[in-house]
Amino acid sequence: MILKKIVLVIILLSFVSCDPLKKEEFVLKASDFQTEINGKKTDLYLLKNEQIQVYITNYGGRIVSLLSPDRNGSPEDVVLGFKSIADYQKAKTPFHGCLIGRYGNRIAKGSFELDGTIHQLPINNNENHLHGGPDGFHNQVWEVISTDKNAIVMSYLSQDGEMGYPGNLGVEVTYAINEKNELSITYKATTDKDTPVNLTNHAFFNLAGQAKGSINDHLLMINADHFTPVDRGLIPLGEIRSVEGTPFDFRRAKTIGQDLNQQDSDTQLSHGGGYDHNFVLTKESPGSMSLAARVVDPKSGRQMDVFTEEPGIQFYGGNFMDGSDVGKYGTKFEYRSSLALETQHYPDSPNQPAFPNTILQPGETYQTKSIYRFSIAE
């Protein structure tokens, strides 16, 4: 373990010294991520190829930093995050870059019925349950099974009754990068009791780099003919609604801010304070890997394509950020300074029988994969 830490420090120093990113701008130190939480050790890990570098901590399985070049070859950090474990623990927004579970997104009133039993979960988002609760997967130390320069495999055992969920759920997540500049996230899980499972990652992106200004000028395409409208608490109404003629039509790329002037007149934009909705992805067959979304920053030329096997994707436009959190470069995370594209099953599915099933049973293996590809827009 000591040797691994020495190697990581050497890699970090060599990266800082030879990369076009200015030395004084790159602030991550492995020592700021090496601590213990509930008797489990945390650390910082680096995945890299010739173009991109991804820093990950096993505290919450978080993407801490992702450096990607612009059209001139100059790298910038396109993921919002913090420079220490302590900063993550005190952040107002607790979900930066983390693995989300057991259930990503909201469950109405934190309650669902399964096999004749009503399960009550913690309420942590107005009157609803969000992202697995206050001590969900984002707040856990994951065990690192293996790691090299291209991949890291982590596991976590969520015990029966944790955050109110039934069953012992064993989870394994693999982050990997390849020469196509793709960051893939593969999720696997098994259980010994019926339980809802909906795993995702909650990275906040700004392709201009380092939370530089609003994301409203980013171009966004979402491959979805429909979305799931919500009530004021952002719980789906149970309807699958066409995006045609609405601000939610991103089938052709448009700036994120193009239709936000309709927020006062469009009920759905009003409920979300902007975009915070699940889109029903257009797929040739259920479970197939397909392009879900594309984001382009016109100024830098950076492009991010999101592929997934999941049926939905949550587009969140940073509506609730208010500058309270200050990131690793001393930049405040201001209103709409980042976006999240969370691949997922639909919110509140345990209470919505018409939605795709999210109940994992003993003997089954939950498995899904999502890919984030970084390139330069043509």
Task: Say what the pTM is.
Answer: 0.93
Strands 62-69 and 53-57: antiparallel
Choose the catalytic residue: 162, 309, 310, 342.
Answer: 342
**pLDDT tens for the chain, residues 1 to 378:** 444 443 444 344 444 333 434 433 678 999 999 999 999 999 999 999 999 999 999 999 999 999 999 999 999 999 999 999 999 999 999 999 999 999 999 999 999 999 999 999 999 999 999 999 999 999 999 999 999 999 999 999 999 999 999 999 999 999 999 999 999 999 999 999 999 999 999 999 999 997 789 999 999 999 999 999 999 999 999 999 999 999 999 999 999 999 999 999 999 999 999 999 999 999 999 999 999 999 999 999 999 999 999 999 999 999 999 999 999 999 999 999 999 999 999 999 999 999 999 999 999 999 999 999 999 999
Of 316, 366, 326, the closest CA to residue 125 belongs to 316
Residue 126 lies in a domain: yes
Annotation says 202 is catalytic: yes
The pLDDT assigned to 338 comes to: 97
Cα–Cα–Cα angle for 347, 278, 328, rounded to 5 degrees = 95
Residue 240 lies in a domain: no
Distance in angstroms (rounded) separating the CA atoms of residues 191 and 167: 6
**Position 291 in a domain:** no
Q: Residue 125: exposed, middle, or buried by beta-carbon count in 10 A (0-12, 13-18, 19+)?
A: middle
Asked whether the beta carbons of 37 and 121 are under 8 A apart, the reply is no
CATH number at residue 40: 2.70.98.10
User: Among residues 202, 226, 277, 345, which one is catalytic?
Assistant: 202
Check if the beta carbon of residue 246 is closer than 8 Å to that of residue 267. no
Domain that residue 347 falls in: 1-212+321-378
Residue 60 to residues 37, 292, 352: CA-CA distances in angstroms? 11, 25, 28
Residues in the chain: 378
Give which of 2, 56, 238, 38 is closest to 139, Cα–Cα: 38
Tell me, what's the pLDDT at 211?
Answer: 76
Q: Judge whether 135 lies within some domain.
A: yes
Q: CA-CA distance, 314 to 333, in Å (whole number)?
A: 20
3-state secondary structure 44-105: EEEEECCCCEEEEECECCEEEEEEEECCCCCEEECECCCCCHHHHHHCCCCCCCCEECCECC
CA–CA separation, 265 vs 283, rounded Å? 31
Q: Is 129 a catalytic residue?
A: no
Does residue 36 lie in a domain region? yes
pLDDT of residue 212: 84
* Residue 270: inside a domain: no
Helix or strand run (H / E) with residue 6: helix 2-18
Q: Is residue 103 part of a domain?
A: yes
Structural domain count of the chain: 1
Question: For 242, phi and psi rounded to 5 degrees?
Answer: -65, 145
pLDDT at residue 127, rounded to an integer: 97
In a domain, 288, yes or no: no
* 90 CB neighbour count, 10 Å cutoff: 11
- What single-letter DSSP state applies at residue 268? H
